[in-house]
Amino acid sequence: MTSLAVGVGVVRSSESKIASIQGYIDRAIEDLLASLRNPKELSAEERRGIIARYTAVLEGNFIYWMTGAYLSVRSDEARAKIMDNLREEVRDCHPGMMRRFALAAHAIPTDTDTQAIYRNLMNVRLFIGRLSPVPTVVTMAFFEGFIQRFMPYLAELAQRQGSAEMEYTDVHGVCDITHTQELFRALEAEMALEPPLPEKEVFEGVELLRTLIQNIVVNNAANN
């Protein structure tokens, strides 16, 4: 793919960059999924903790961070895509859906759960606050992609906690596929407006968010 892109013009080179970003994100998601422990081998408290920490991150931050992406981007195309996403989040009350999911699984976040993710969550918040267009959109594409792939696991944890409330995992296992594709198109529009960034900057938010997600799925207190 790289050899094809050499010297064949701006369009092909932008396609190649998008493909390499998508490859990086896909690998990061695969690594996270591979690190998940078998739900059968988790204690009830471990299962509860994962749902609670996930809820502590998602309920109050997803719309906030997507709003950060909206404020950071400059292209009409990216704004329109992100606005569609935000509209759905607000109209269908996704934070409410998240809360019902946690409640039914007896996994409402406690003070200990929120404290466990505090520092890694703060790192992502500060990154989003820089409103840097391309790295923010890359981060949200990773987030959407991960969430969609994580839903069967999250649903299984909740079922094992005795819950039958699966609206959150049903909705996000499907609709976020479209969101991810839309975000990649938004990313292409944003990249056309900026000189290329060093790879480290492009993926800085992905790495911070990856650390936060590891903190959710394995309560690695060493990170805090």
* Interacting residues with Fe ion (CB under 5 A): 94
Q: Which is nearer to Fe ion, 137 or 202 (CB)?
A: 137
Helix (H) / strand (E) element for 219: namely: none
- What phi and psi, each to the nearest 5 degrees, are found at residue 8? -110, 25
CA pseudo-torsion sign 208, 107, 145, 69: negative
Amino acid identity of residue 204, one-letter, is: E
Is the CB of 47 or the CB of 94 nearer to Fe ion?
94
Cβ atoms of residues 82 and 186 within 8 Å: yes
Residue whose CB is less far from Fe ion, 94 or 210 = 94
Q: Which residue is nearest to Fe ion (CB)?
A: 94
Kindly report the three-state secondary structure assignment for every residue of 50-80. Answer: HHHHHHHHHHHHHHHHHHHHHHHCCCHHHHH
CA distance linking residue 202 with residue 191, whole number of Å: 11
Cβ atoms of 158 and 169 within 8 Å: the answer is yes
> Six-digit token pair at 117?
């993710």
Instruction: Count CB-CB contacts under 10 A for residue 58.
Output: 24
Residue 65: CB minimum distance to Fe ion, A:
11
Cβ of residue 8: shortest distance to Fe ion, in angstroms?
38
Nearer to Fe ion, 168 or 203 (CB): 168
Which residue lies nearer to Fe ion by CB, 48 or 94?
94
For the bound state, the minimum distance from the C-beta of residue 13 to Fe ion, rounded and expressed in Å, comes to 33
Q: How far is the CB of 138 from Fe ion (least distance, A)?
A: 19
In the bound complex, what is the minimum distance in angstroms from residue 172's beta carbon to Fe ion?
6
In the bound state with Fe ion, the residue whose beta carbon lies nearer, of 65 and 184, is 65
For residue 206, the surrounding DSSP H or E stretch is helix 204-217
* Shortest Cβ 41–Fe ion spacing (Å): 29
The nearest distance, CB 6 to Fe ion, in angstroms, is 39
Any idea how long the chain is?
224
| 12 versus 87: smaller Cβ distance to Fe ion | 87
Measured CA to CA, the distance from residue 176 to residue 84 in angstroms comes to 12
